[in-house]
Amino acid sequence: MFKLFKKKSASEKLHKQYELLMAESHRLSKTNRAESDKKYAEAQALLQQIEQLE
């Protein structure tokens, strides 16, 4: 009923972090391609961790 006190699982936390990294990568792709590629690589590493958890 109340999700206020429900803790997020490790998978949910990683998904949120993955989404933030992908958004940052997209934002940087317009200005700094090298930094964008670094953020994308970090996001892919997180995606692999997510797949291992599931």
Domain spans, the chain: 17-53
The residue with tokens 């992908």 is: 22
| Cα distance between residue 6 and residue 35, in whole Å | 35
Specify burial of residue 50 (Cβ count, 10 A radius: 0-12, 13-18, 19+).
Answer: middle
Block means of pLDDT (10 residues each) for the chain, length 54 residues?
75 92 95 95 94 87
- State the pLDDT at residue 36: 95
| Cα distance between residue 53 and residue 23, in whole Å | 23
| pTM score, whole prediction | 0.81
Distance between start and end Cα atoms, the chain: 26
